[in-house]
Structure 1
Amino acid sequence: MTKISELKDFSECSTTYILAVNDTINVINGKWKAAIISSLFFGKKRYGEIEKDIPKINSRMLSKELRDLEANGIVVRKVYDTIPVGVEYELTESGHAFRKVLDVMLEWGLEHRKNVIGKTI
């Protein structure tokens, strides 16, 4: 994983900077992706377990978002030859590395809520 200190100086807006930010946004684009990734930080889970972790997500949307995350290399889907067929989802190395991004987002969100709304969760 590239460290910010290893990158060239971004004192000016560069194409590399814009592309990297857009790549990040494309991976988490949507209401549910960050929640799904967060659920999987705690280990492999079956579809129903993820669904229980995320209130208000419908089955169709969870399926779509899991496929998108799999296509983006964040989640891996493992199918087991059992009856009924067993399916588990887990984070890839890239998915686990995304925790740093979510931790910063959490920190910023809590501070922003406190400053703008005037209360904490």
Structure 2
Amino acid sequence: MEVTVATTKTALDDEATCRQVLKILALVGDKWSLLVIGHLGQGPVRFSALQRAVTGVSHRMLTVTLRQLERDGLVTRTVYACVPPRVEYALTGLGATLLPSVKVLATWAEANLDVITKNQQAFDADAQTE
């Protein structure tokens, strides 16, 4: 009996497309972007509140991260004309479409954290005995 498996082409099948996808994943998958996207998924946030929520991020790094996310069209920056000026950040429609994928990835990472940690420890122990 012959079995035929239907395959669907993905970005991983084309090297040029894969490289473009990797660039985008690097932008949204860096140390701070995922945390910022996660917090903004709860609604608009002022800069100072976002900085308090994202533990360990410096003022400069949060600014750089927000600017990059804004450049990519994932975040909007709204300035309100009041004294003192108030600035809020929020996910765009495009940014909101990223949130479910981020949550799935975070859930997978949390579910597999113990297994991955044990694998790393076993690998490191084997590497030391060689």
Fold conserved between structures, TM > 0.5: yes
State the distance in 1 between where 2:77 and 2:9 align: 38
Where structure 2 has 5 or more consecutive residues not aligned to the other structure, the ranges are 1-7, 119-130
State the distance in 1 between where 2:82 and 2:57 align: 27
Poorly superposed stretches of 4+, deviation over 4 Å: none
More displaced 10-residue stretch of structure 1: 92-101 or 102-111: 102-111
User: Does 1:86 find its partner at 2:86?
Assistant: yes
Which residue in 2 is equivalent to 1:4?
Answer: none
State the distance in 2 between where 1:30 and 1:11 align: 20
Identity %: 25
For the 8 Å contact 2:69–2:75, the answer to whether it is kept is yes
Question: More helix per residue: 1 or 2?
Answer: 2
TM-score w.r.t. length of structure 2: 0.75
User: Does 1:47 find its partner at 2:79?
Assistant: no
Where structure 1 has 5 or more consecutive residues not aligned to the other structure, the ranges are 1-7
Change (3 A) 1:17 1:108: farther
User: Does 1:67 find its partner at 2:67?
Assistant: yes
| Higher alpha-carbon Rg | 2
Which residue in 2 is equivalent to 1:5?
Answer: none
Shift of 1:86: 1.0
User: Does 1:33 find its partner at 2:39?
Assistant: no
Shift of 1:73: 0.3
